[in-house]
């Protein structure tokens, strides 16, 4: 709801932030979160249901992001904020690449260069700006949902 | 007891003085005398009054400052409240004006039946130009129904659920609208784009198109009712070796501030896809 009613209005050139992807990434980067793929699946289905994009685009993009998150957790697990920033950029590009390809297959006249210049790069910048506050918020929520066990 | 002055002379003296004063008053000379004699008294009175006021203020001012600060805080709070109310009223006024405009438009088009809907969201993908409205199939909205405002064409219903619907705007890159140039009477195709700019394609080379020419829906294709205002031409692109000329169009509707729309519910779009043969004989 926040994404469709508020975030979609806040545009830079023609790009807008993807709050769902940012929350998903931040949530998947929490070490205590189990069954992250379910959240990726649910987020993809939700966006696929609301958006006019083909269903597989957000679904596939978020599943790929889940896989990337798992990989980053193993390799740069000591710097989750860095992982968040890198994954935000990668996630934006993956999602927009899939979107452009799917729209072109469906006969929509969209040029790659135009899409990258006017939509993807501004969207990546907005996502980067929002990624840190979203990460901090999700860390707090994760701490509330999964309180740390105290060994007595 | 010795009497130095007789009583008669005393009375006469007083009488003469009184009569003299009266004569001076009547003649106008008494004012000068009084002013001259009273001015030191006025000065003394002024000095005493100023000293008294200074002492009074010295004693009472601290209490007044406290009460003034309290009053100032109360007034500031009241001002903030009133400002909030003004903003709320301005928002309500803007909504009311928008709805009145839609109502006027609906009254002017009695042949159409409308459902007024509020815009409650936009497509999450920045590549697509869709809005989400707050009425759906429960209210009689069906796929393909045209959506307008009092200014002109907005788009068409793309997907419907029970209580909401998704509308594809005429700025979407995937949409094509058959339109007619009102002045030239020639049909052309309106296309959206990724950036939201709208352009007019397939205009024959021999047609004279000028900036400001009005565009209306032509009704061809059966997707939109005819004669709905779409926009106006703002620029022309003409190349000598091209088959057609094209033009950039300014839509009649301001899509950035879209709050409410009208869905034409008595218009049934015609699906002509089966009539279009894709195989060559």
Write down the pLDDT at residue B6. Answer: 80
Other CB atoms within 10 A of residue A15 CB: 23
CATH homologous superfamily for the domain B115-169: Rod shape-determining protein MreC, domain 1 (2.40.10.340)
Sign (positive/negative) of CA torsion B75, B76, B77, B78?
positive
Average pLDDT, integer, range A52-69: 90
State the residue for tokens 């109310």.
B85
User: Which residues are registered as beta bridge partners of B133?
Assistant: B119, B165
More confident residue, B89 or B38: B89
Whose CA is closest to B180, among B231, B145, B144, B223?
B231
Residue of chain A with shortest Cα separation from B127 = A119
Q: Convert the pLDDT of each residue in A68-107 to its tens digit.
A: 888 887 776 667 888 889 999 999 999 999 999 998 998 8
pLDDT on residue A150: 65
Contact A115, B127 (CB under 8 A): yes
Mean pLDDT of chain A: 85
How high is the mean pLDDT of chain B? 84
Q: Considering only CB atoms, which chain B residues are within 8 Å of A53?
A: 123, 125, 127-128
Using the Cα atoms of residue B239, residue B244, residue B248 and residue B250 in order, give the sign of their dihedral. Answer: positive
Q: Which residue of A has its CA nearest to B195?
A: A14
Please tell me if residue B161 touches chain A, with a CB cutoff of 8 Å. Answer: no
Q: Quick one: tokens of B158?
A: 């793309």
Token pair, residue A132, equals 């840190």
| Structure confidence by residue, pLDDT tens digits, B200-219 | 888 888 888 888 888 899 88
Q: Does B123 touch chain A (CB under 8 A)?
A: yes
* Yes or no: domain B176-257 corresponds to CATH 2.40.10.350: yes
Give the tokens for residue A10. Answer: 């806040």
Under a CB-based contact definition with an 8 Å cutoff, are residues B174 and B183 in contact?
no
**pLDDT band at A2, cuts 50/70/90?**
low
Answer whether A52 touches B (CB < 8 Å).
yes
Cβ neighbours around A8 below 10 Å, total = 22
b/e burial code for range B262-276 (CB count within 10 A of at least 16 → b) = bbbbebebeeeeeee
pLDDT tens for each residue of B227-249 = 888 999 998 888 878 788 889 99
Residue with tokens 């759906």: B136
Who among B127, B159, B166 is closest to A103 (CB)? B127
pLDDT surpasses 50 at B281: no
Distance of alpha carbon A140 from alpha carbon B71, whole angstroms: 42
CB contact under 8 A, A50 and B128: no
* Least confident piece of the model among A63-72, A89-98, B64-73: B64-73
CA distance A119 to A113: 10
Nearest to B227 by CA among B265, B267, B258, B255: B267
Q: Check residue B3 and give its pLDDT.
A: 55
Q: Which one-letter DSSP state was computed for residue B279? A: S
Contact in structure between B167 and B131 (CB atoms under 8 Å): yes
H or E segment at B42?
Answer: helix B29-108
Contact A3/B at CB under 8 A: yes
**Contact check, Cβ <8 Å, A118/B195:** yes
Reported residue count of chain B is 281
B12: number of Cβ within 10 Å: 11
The secondary structure element, H or E, covering residue B229 is strand B229-237
DSSP string, A29-91: T-TT---HHHHHHHHHHHHHHHSSS-THHHHHHHHHHHHHHHHHHHHSTT-HHHHHHHHHHHH
| Domain boundaries, given as residue ranges, for chain A | 12-145
DSSP 3-state of A13:
coil
Crossing angle between the packed helical segments A19-28 and A56-75, to the nearest 10 degrees: 30
Instruction: State yes or no: pLDDT of A6 exceeds 70.
Output: no
Domain spans, chain B: 41-108, 115-169, 176-257
- Contact in structure between B212 and B199 (CB atoms under 8 Å): no
pLDDT, tens digit, 9 for 90 and up, residues B145-154 = 999 988 889 9
Q: Which of A51, A123, A125 to mutate to test the interface with B (most CBs of B within 10 A)?
A: A51
In this chain, the answer to whether the domains covering B115-169 and B176-257 adopt an identical fold is yes
Helix (H, G, I), strand (E, B) or coil at B145: coil
Q: Give Cα separations from B113 to A30, B109, B160, B215 (angstroms).
A: 53, 8, 18, 23
Contact B238, B252 (CB under 8 A): no
């Amino acid at each position: 709801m926040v994404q469709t009613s508020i975030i979609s209005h806040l545009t830079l050139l023609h790009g807008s932030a993807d709050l769902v992807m940012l929350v998903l990434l931040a949530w998947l980067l929490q070490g205590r979160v189990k069954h992250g793929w379910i959240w990726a699946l649910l987020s993809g289905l939700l966006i696929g249901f609301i958006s006019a994009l083909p269903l597989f685009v957000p679904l596939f993009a978020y599943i790929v992001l889940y896989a990337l998150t798992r990989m980053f957790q193993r390799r740069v697990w000591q710097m989750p904020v860095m992982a968040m920033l890198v994954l935000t950029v990668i996630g934006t590009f993956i999602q927009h690449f899939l979107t452009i390809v799917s729209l072109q297959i469906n006969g929509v006249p969209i040029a790659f260069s135009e899409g990258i210049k006017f939509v993807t790069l501004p969207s990546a910048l907005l996502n980067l700006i929002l990624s840190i506050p979203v990460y901090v918020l999700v860390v707090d929520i994760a701490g509330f949902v999964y309180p740390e066990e105290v060994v007595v | 007891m010795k009497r130095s002055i007789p009583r008669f002379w005393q009375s006469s003296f007083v009488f003469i003085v009184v009569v003299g004063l009266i004569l001076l008053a009547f003649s106008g000379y008494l004012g000068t005398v009084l002013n001259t004699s009273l001015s030191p008294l006025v000065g003394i009175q002024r000095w005493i009054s100023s000293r008294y006021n200074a002492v009074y203020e010295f004693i009472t001012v601290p209490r007044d400052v406290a009460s003034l600060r309290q009053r100032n805080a109360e007034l500031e709070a009241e001002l903030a409240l009133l400002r909030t109310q003004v903003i709320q009223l301005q928002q309500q006024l803007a909504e009311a004006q928008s709805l009145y405009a839609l109502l006027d438009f609906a009254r002017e088009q009695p042949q159409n039946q409308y459902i007024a809907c509020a815009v409650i969201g936009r497509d999450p993908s920045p590549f697509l130009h869709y809005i989400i409205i707050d009425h759906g199939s429960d209210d009689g909205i069906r796929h393909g129904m045209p959506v307008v405002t009092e200014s002109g064409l907005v788009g068409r219903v793309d997907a419907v659920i029970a209580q909401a619907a998704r509308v594809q705007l005429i700025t979407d890159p995937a949409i094509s609208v058959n339109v007619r140039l009102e002045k030239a009477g020639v049909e052309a195709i309106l296309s959206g784009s990724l950036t939201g700019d709208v352009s007019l394609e397939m205009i024959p080379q021999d047609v004279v198109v000028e900036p400001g020419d009005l565009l209306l829906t032509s009704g061809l294709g059966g997707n939109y009712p005819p004669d709905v205002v779409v926009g106006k031409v703002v620029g022309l692109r003409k190349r000598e070796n091209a088959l057609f000329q094209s033009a950039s169009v300014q839509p009649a509707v301001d899509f950035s501030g879209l709050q409410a729309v009208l869905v034409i519910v008595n218009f049934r779009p015609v699906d002509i896809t089966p009539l279009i043969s894709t195989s060559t004989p």
